Each structure stands twice: as C-alpha cells, then as structure tokens.
Amino acid sequence: MKICGMNLESLKVWKGSWHNFMATLITGVRTFDVRFPTSTMLDGSDAMNADPDYSAAYLKIYTSDPELTGDSLVFTIGRGNEVQNSAIDILAAHIVGMDTQHAFDTIGDIGRKLSADSQLRWLGTDKGVFHMGAGAVVNALWDLFAKERKLPLWKLLADLTPEQVVAAIDFRYISDALTPDEALQILRNAQHAKVANEEILRRDGVRAYTTTPGWLGYDDEKMLRLTSEAVADGFTLVKYKCGKSVEDDRRRLGKVRQLVGPDFRIAIDANQVWDVNTAIDWVNQLQEYKLEWIEEPTHPDDVVGHSTIAAGVAPTKVATGEHAANRIMFKQLLQLNAISVMQIDATRVAGVNENLANILLAAKFNIPVCPHAGGVGLCEMVQHLAMFDAIAVSGHHERRFVEYVHHLHEHFVEPTNVVAGFYKAPQLPGSGAHMLDSSIDRYLFPTGHYWTEALQQSGAQK
C-alpha cells in the first residue's frame, strides 16, 4: 500500500493562484490489495483457472474536495495483485496535482502519456500490468469526472459530443481500420436516435446473459438447478465452461439442452485451453447442441488461429476479448473475420478511452459488443460501456448480451441491478467501481480481518 501526496511546491502554486483556488485538484492516490476467497467455493472455476480468488488491485484518487474521490480497480484472480498495484502506483503518481477540469478536457492526452513512458513501455507495449495499470488510472479519472458532474458514467459518456469522444481515443495503430473521421461519422449518425435510445435504456436496460450456472467445478445437480433458476429469472442465454473432455462437455450440454428445450440460447467458453485444430474438432463434436458461440477457443493473441477456427466451426460463432490486450488485437480480429462477437472488458485494456475505440471498431465492422463481466466489479463497471454503446453508437438491438455473474455485488456502493434478464441503468454518480470501505477493510490482503482470521485458522490446523 502506498500513498503519493502532493508536494509542497504544487501546494504553494495552488494557494497562490486565484484561478486555481476555485479549482478542484487531485491531491493524492492510494492503492489497496483486496482479495476475496472465491476459490473456497469453486466460483469462477474453468478449464484454465482452477482456483481463482477474485481480487481487485484497487485505486482511489483523492481531491481537494474531501467528498470527491475517483475509484477504479483492475480485476485479477489473486496472486500477483501486488504486482498490478505496483504498476498502478508508478503510473498514478503522474496525475497528482492536476486540476480535475483540465484532466477532463485533456483525458485523451493523459491516456496517451500514461502509455508513452518509454522505459515502462518496454515492459509491455500496450499490454500487461502496465497497460492495465494505465487503465486503472484512466478509469478512476472517468469515475471522478462522473461523480463531479453528478452523473452515472453511461450518461456522461452518452452526452459527450462526437468530437469529445473522438478526442479521447488514441487512433495510433488502428487508423488503417478506423480513422477519426470515420469514428466521427459513426457517432454523428447515431445522434438523432440518442434521446429515444436513452428512454429505452431507462425503461428496459440492456439485455444480460448469465454464467452463474456454468462453472466447471459445479456438479451436474448444481449446474441444472442454477440453470432452472436462471431461466425462471428471465435470462435468455446461459454460458457454460467447457474443455475438460469432450465426453464431459457432451454429458453436461446434453442435460442442459434437455432441460431448457431446443430454442434456448446456450454458449460455451473454453478459456483458451485448445490448439487451433483441437478447437475445430472439439466444437464440431458439440454442434448438435446448437451453440450460440464458442468463447476463447485458443490463445488470445492468435488472431490467425481465431480466423481459422471461425471458418472451421461455422455456424457456431467465435467470441473473444476478455484477454484481448488492446485495440490493435481487436482491429486484427475484425479485419480477419475471426470473431462474430466482441467481448470488451472494463479493466483489461487502458480504460474507458481504449474501450471507446473498441466499441467504434465493432460498429465499423458491424459486430455486436457483448461485454465480458463477472469477476469482481466487472459487471458494475462494464455495464456503463454497453449502455453508452446502446445510446450513442450501435443503438438497441437483439445481438447485445452483457455477461452477468451473481456474486460479490454486495461489496459495491451501487451493486448491479439485473431484473428479468436486463441490466437496469445505474442511477448513482460514478463508474460503478466504488467499493464499500468496509469491504476494502475486511478483505485487504494480508492484513484485513478476513485474511488474518483465515491465516490464524490455517496455522491452528497445522
């Protein structure tokens, strides 16, 4: 845990300037290592990730207004959360001392600078812990901007002018697929429908799908019971983890298909376990279950492989994105017809700015954005991006489903509100990432009450 404060010189400048006296300044940042013990229940288990402890590398920005903070997190699954926080600490120090209005006006420049430190860039190049760290800083700033304007983030984004949206995006490396002028045109084309789209959003929300019944560690009885509950709750698409063995997948999908009937939508998720040819053979052995999509069939960087798989498993669609490191990966997946569903993630890439690029890339290629969520805080955060898309980019349509998993929402100031299979529009100001102080205190690793008690118990058992 580190605290970066404002230095004395910048305080003097602040006090000495009448203009800045009226401004709100960023006075400090602090990171928290928050881990939830989900591995004890096998929640989140899949073919690649056997025992995740859903965790948050959590960032809080403090300002000269004691009531105003900017909050965000990077989702991790446990070990390494401290490494992610170290990256955030290094990057977040750059914004201390900034005027929040100036930060809002220059958020595109801030995003570009966070990704442009040449020594840090060497450790990733728009991928990995520093890229996600930049995302944490950018997302915390957008949370702060929304709170300052007393708007939920979806509304703040939807009310931006096309020019403001485009100014937030780094078009470097994607202009061969999407130019700023094309992005402007997509946004301008949607302007006339924004009022009606917002009314639909406030009335209905955006359609959700659920992964809650589908974890690989659940037995068939639990999987079927949770599937029945999901159908009764109004969901129209359920996703199941797969990839342990073809026989296991056929048994589980056969039971599910029998339970839900021939027309209900079923998707599957392999979490990257297969080679390209294995993926094609495996998925084709499951075609009789009428799958909506196969998600993450192979390594997330293998764009050509995804394209080969897409051709080999049609009409089953290919979906990916929760591990797509950046907008350049999405550009290539779209250019090679490798995906039919784009699954953006709120904390994998460099924050809201880069996801605006991803959403506009998808619109250019007429591919629906079905965001990845689950984890901790991801549902709360990514719903805002889907709602922006529904108002200001691609509108409301039948091809959008936003992932939902029914756990850990109680730790947030405004938990997601999913009713009858739809995400309802958040009402409170902010981006959804603001976690309750009591949850941060209890699950702080390793000194929070939960972890000190757990360590004491495991010590007593030895």
CB of 241 to Mg ion, least distance (A): 8
C-beta closer to Mg ion: residue 96 or 382: 382
Sign of the alpha-carbon torsion through 340, 346, 350, 352: positive
Beta strand pairing call for 402-404 and 206-210: parallel
Total number of residues that touch Mg ion (CB under 5 A): 2
Strand pairing class (26-35; 55-63): antiparallel
What size, in residues, is the chain? 462
Asked if 198 interacts with Mg ion (CB under 5 A), we say no
Q: Which stretch binds Mg ion (CB under 5 A): 56-64, 133-141, 290-298, 446-454?
A: 290-298
Q: Decide if 269 contacts 295 (C-beta within 8 A).
A: yes
Interaction residues for Mg ion, span 127-186 (CB under 5 A): none
- Identity of residue 263: D
Neighbours of 296 (CB within 10 A): 28
Site residues for Mg ion, window 291-330 (CB under 5 A)? 295
Residue number with CB closer to Mg ion (389 or 403)? 403
**CA 209 from centroid of its chain's CA atoms:** 15
Distance between CA 306 and CA 326 in Å, rounded?
Answer: 16
Q: How far is CA 440 from CA 32, 76, 77, 81, 134, in A?
A: 8, 15, 16, 14, 22
Task: Quote the distance between the C-alpha of residue 41 and its chain's center.
Answer: 23
Binding to Mg ion (CB under 5 A) within 372-391 occurs at: none
Beta-bridge partner residues of 57:
33, 74
Smallest distance from the beta carbon of 280 to Mg ion, in angstroms? 19
- Give whichever of 197 and 320 is closer to Mg ion, judged by the CB atom: 320
Nearer to Mg ion, 143 or 295 (CB): 295
The distance of closest approach from Cβ of residue 17 to Mg ion in the complex, given in angstroms and rounded to an integer, is: 49
Bridge partners for 324 per DSSP: none
Type and span of the H or E element at 25: none
> In the window 236-275, what residues touch Mg ion (CB under 5 A)?
269
User: Considering beta carbons, is residue 269 or 389 the nearer one to Mg ion?
Assistant: 269
Query: Residue number with the shortest CB distance to Mg ion?
Result: 269
Residues involved in catalysis: 241, 372
Q: Yes or no: say if 116 and 91 are a contact pair by the CB < 8 Å rule.
A: no
- Residue given tokens 């026989």 in the structure block: 247
Residue 211 Cβ vs Mg ion, minimum distance, rounded to whole Å: 7
DSSP 8-state assignment for residue 419: E
Nearer to Mg ion, 235 or 445 (CB): 235
Q: Is 43 or 269 the residue whose CB approaches Mg ion more closely?
A: 269
x-marked contacts with Mg ion along 66-95 as a string, rule CB under 5 A: ------------------------------
> 108 or 375, CB closer to Mg ion?
375
Of residues 390-419, which lie at the interface with Mg ion (CB under 5 A)?
Answer: none
Give least dist CB 92 to Mg ion, A: 28
Q: Please name which of 403, 416, 427, 415 lies closest in space to residue 235, comparing C-alpha atoms.
A: 403
Q: Is 119 exposed, middle or buried (0-12, 13-18, 19+ CB in 10 A)?
A: exposed
Q: Is 79 left (phi over 0), alpha (psi -120 to 50) or beta?
A: beta
Q: How far is the CB of 273 from Mg ion (least distance, A)?
A: 12
Q: Report in angstroms how near the CB of residue 242 gets to Mg ion at its nearest.
A: 11
The distance of Cα 300 from the centroid of its chain, to the nearest Å, equals: 16
- Residue placing its CB nearer to Mg ion in the complex, 148 or 269: 269
Q: At what angle do helices 378-392 and 180-190 cross, to 10 degrees?
A: 80
CA 352-357-359 angle, to 5 degrees, is: 90
Q: Tell me the C-alpha distance between 253 and 412, whole Å.
A: 34
Nearest approach in angstroms of CB 272 to Mg ion is 9
CA 155 from chain center: how many Å? 18
The minimum distance between CB 404 and Mg ion, in angstroms, equals 13
User: Which among 348, 305, 297 has a CA at the least distance from the CA of 327?
Assistant: 348
Instruction: By CB under 5 A, name the binding residues for Mg ion.
Output: 269, 295
